[in-house]
Amino acid sequence: MDLKVYQRKGNLKVYQRKGKKKKRVLPQQQTFELPDEIVWEIMIRLPVESLARFKTVSKAWLAIISDPSFVRAHLQCSKQKQHRNPSHFLINPKFLLEISNADAFSTNIQFYQWCLQENMMRSTATLLYGRHFPTSEFGRVSDMAHCDGLMLLPTDTKVYVFNPATKDTIALPESQRNMMWHHRCLPVGLGLDTSTGKYKVARSFYRSRCSDPVEIVAMGMEVFTINGKHGSWRETLVDPPYPILSSQAATHYKGCLFYSIDKNNLQRPPHGLVRFSLADETFGVTPLITNIYPEVDHDDFFISEFDGELCCTYLCSHLQRVLVFTTRGVDHPKWSLRYLINVQSHFYPLVPLGSGRILLRGGNCLLGYNLEASEIEVGERFDMDEIRYLAPSQDTLGRAWENVLWFDLISYTESLVPVTPKVSSQTL
């Protein structure tokens, strides 16, 4: 036997068999690296929640996801998905601390994500993001404005901007320009300046302390650029051509904000909307349709963005019909009658549902309406109180609020758009 001495311990010899060990040859593992273009195309289709986790995988992925061009591409992909299937909504309940005090709203701001299902009566909404501010931080709140996944909350003290998908929040600085009605929420809007790619908040304010009921109030406009250079409100070079109705959230469409006119004490007020361009920060008036037949109350209308168009909804009381006009024009709009809806109260369209159906809202009531049959779909009329609102720690019963005054309901496109300066992509 062919042996060799391996080790000597005292007089003891330890032997082992002489010979070469056979090495196991493992099959060579091949690694494939996807091209950056393919990684990009995959990632822009992922939800924000997944991308937030991927930021911690590597510096390279963090750099991709934080890149402004990726944020824009992801937003466009989200918009296309929502347009093809407009079933995703964000719900923000507005409830009072005490039912007898309309000036004391809860400072617990919550955003619930709701997906419209075939059986609306069994719908549930899950908490996406919540932020509890100090009780004394504000009293009154107004309707939310929204643009590209960002939500703007006007209050009687400050303005807040949220991105519920990224859990990003900013309180805009206070301004001392407003001279009247400090207990009210000022008219405000949020939109995209397409010339710079920046998001702007535009808020009108009262120049005069005079509250004489026969006087025309003088108003100005101030602008805050989100993630801008200065981080403060700037006054525009020109004032609005007409007073703007207080406590309203402007409608954003094609880089402009549209405000309703306060016609009190105006001798010949125009039948139109004050239009504010976010690019050059100038004003104009967008005419509304006139001489409508059947006759409607021209001062009782609702402005919104619907299916990629500017939308104006009127109620014809004596015929119990809702008339929905739309236009793609801004400066010289050509309004056309899109829908004549057979309902008895003031509803307005939220989203098209396909197959000749649309979703309508009136107050806290939602309707699935069949345009071909001119009737409400069977089983598709319910109140938003009937939705089950679930937080991650709650059971399937959900929660309810006794003092809910109204719900903001917004067709929701999630995005990565930041509202606060981000940490450099060079650090993890």
Along the 428 residues of the chain, how does pLDDT read in single tens digits?
444 444 554 555 555 555 555 566 656 666 667 777 888 899 999 999 999 998 888 888 888 899 999 999 999 999 999 999 898 999 999 988 887 787 789 999 999 999 887 666 567 889 999 999 998 899 899 999 999 999 999 999 999 999 999 999 999 998 888 888 767 889 999 999 999 999 999 999 998 766 666 666 789 999 999 998 888 999 999 999 999 988 899 999 999 999 999 988 788 889 999 999 999 999 999 999 888 876 777 678 999 999 999 999 998 877 788 999 999 999 999 999 999 999 878 899 999 988 889 999 999 999 989 998 888 887 778 888 888 888 876 555 556 667 888 899 999 999 999 998 863 333 32
Considering only CA atoms, which of 242, 81, 223, 101 is closest in space to residue 149? 81
Contact predicate 108/120, CB 8 Å: no
Contact predicate 279/195, CB 8 Å: yes
Helix axes 59-66, 36-43, angle to 10 degrees: 60
* pTM recorded for the entire structure: 0.86
d(CA 111, CA 127) in angstroms, rounded, equals 6
Work out the end-to-end distance of the chain between its first and last CA atoms, rounded to an integer number of angstroms. Answer: 62
In the chain, the domains with their CATH numbers are 69-411 (2.120.10.80)
